A and B are shown apart, each in its own frame.
Chain A
C-alpha cells in the first residue's frame, strides 16, 4: 500500500516529505527505543513512535524507512523538523496513541 493512501486513511498530518508519498509501505514498526529500531525495523516500514529527538531522522534514513509517525500529538523539536527537511524523510503526526495507530495500520496493510 502506498504512503499516500495510508496517510488519508489514518488522517495523519504531513509535516515533511510531501513529495515522497508514492512510496510503497512494506509494514509497520512500533518502538521508542532507537537502538531497537536500528536492529529490527525493515526497509520500507512506517515507524510509529513518540520520540521527537532529531536522531529519529538519522535512524529512518539509515534503515530506509518509508516515514515516521509521531503519536500523541507530540511536537517534534525544531532541529528534528530541520533534519527531516534536509534528509527528505517523511514525518507525520497524529493525535492518536501508538496502540491505536499501530492497530489501524496493521488492519490496512494486512487486509
Chain B
C-alpha cells in the first residue's frame, strides 16, 4: 500500500566544515523525529563518511536514512547524490576523493568531524571538502546513475554554487532526476520562476539541528527507498510527489 513519506533529502552533519559539532547523529535524529520526518538524505560536501553513523543510529527509530553526498562539480555546481546502500555511496566517494585537490584548513573553513552512532569522534577528515572536484557536471551525473543513485541539482534558487548561478541556465540533455529549491522560496513561487521540465523537491539544506525539516517534500511511496523515490519522480506506478 502506498502512503505519504515526509522527506528532507538534503541535510549536512558535523563532517561538513560549515557546520558545528552539534550536527551529531543523535541531535539530528531528535530534531527529525520532532518534525515527523520519515526520510533523511545525508549530503555532506564531497564526502559520505558520516552516513553510516546516521544509518546505525536511526535503526530503531523509524527514520529512513539515505546515504549520500553533495558533490561539487568542476563548474562549482552542487549536486546531491542519494543511494539505497552505503557500498555504492562509498564507490562515489572514492572517485570524488581521487578528483578532489587540497587539504582542509580548520581555521579558515572549520572542522570536519567523523563520528560514530554513539557520538564518539573517530577522527577528522583532512581533505578540502569545501573545494570543487575536477569532475565535469555531466560525468558526475552519469557516475551517480551508474551506481543506481539519484541526482538532484541543489538549491537552484540560490546564486552561489547552484546550476543556474554557475551556468546561467540548465544545459540541455543533462539527466538530472530533480531540481531542489531552498527554504528561501516556496514551491508555488518556484513553479512560476523555473520553467524546466524537471520535478521540484524542497529540502532544508540544514546546517543546524533546528533547521532540519524546515522545508521538506512529501512523496507517496510504498516504502522509504531511493528506488521508490526514483519512481515517484517519474510518476510511475502511482508513486508521486504530493508536496
Contact = CB atoms under 8 A, between A and B. Distances in A.
Interface of A: 32-35, 37-38, 51, 53-55, 58-59, 77
B136 A53 contact: yes
B136 A77 contact: yes
A33 B165 contact: yes
Interface stretch (B88-96, B166-174, B177-185): B166-174
Nearest to A63: B168
A35 B168 contact: yes
Given A33-B159, A35-B159, A55 B167 contact: yes
A55 B171 contact: yes
Contacts of B75: 51, 53
Interface residues of B, number: 12
Interface in B143-159: 159
B171 A37 contact: no
Given A53-B137, A77-B136, A34 B171 contact: no
A71 to B, nearest CB: 15
B168 A59 contact: yes
B164 interface: yes
Contacts of A34: 165-169
23 contacts: A32-B76, A32-B166, A33-B159, A33-B165, A33-B166, A34-B166, A34-B167, A34-B168, A35-B159, A35-B164, A35-B166, A35-B167, A35-B168, A37-B168, A51-B166, A53-B136, A53-B137, A53-B171, A54-B171, A55-B168, A55-B171, A58-B168, A58-B169
A67 B159 CA distance: 24
B180 to A, nearest CB: 17
Nearest to A55: B167
User: Mostly helix, strand, loop or mixed at chain B's interface?
Assistant: loop
A34 B164 CA distance: 8
Contacts of B76: 32
A51 B136 CA distance: 11
A32 B136 CA distance: 15
Contacts of A59: 168
Contacts of A77: 136
B44 to A, nearest CB: 24
Nearest to A79: B138
A84 to B, nearest CB: 15
Given A33-B159, A51-B167, A53-B75, 7 more contacts: A32-B76, A35-B165, A35-B168, A54-B171, A55-B168, A58-B169, A59-B168
A30 B148 CA distance: 39
Please give me the 6 A-B residue pairs with the lowest Cβ-Cβ distance, nearest first.
Answer: A34-B168, A55-B167, A35-B165, A53-B75, A34-B167, A38-B168
Nearest to A37: B168
B179 to A, nearest CB: 15
B165 A55 contact: no
A40 B137 CA distance: 25
B132 to A, nearest CB: 11
Contacts of A37: 168
A58 B167 CA distance: 10
A50 B136 CA distance: 13
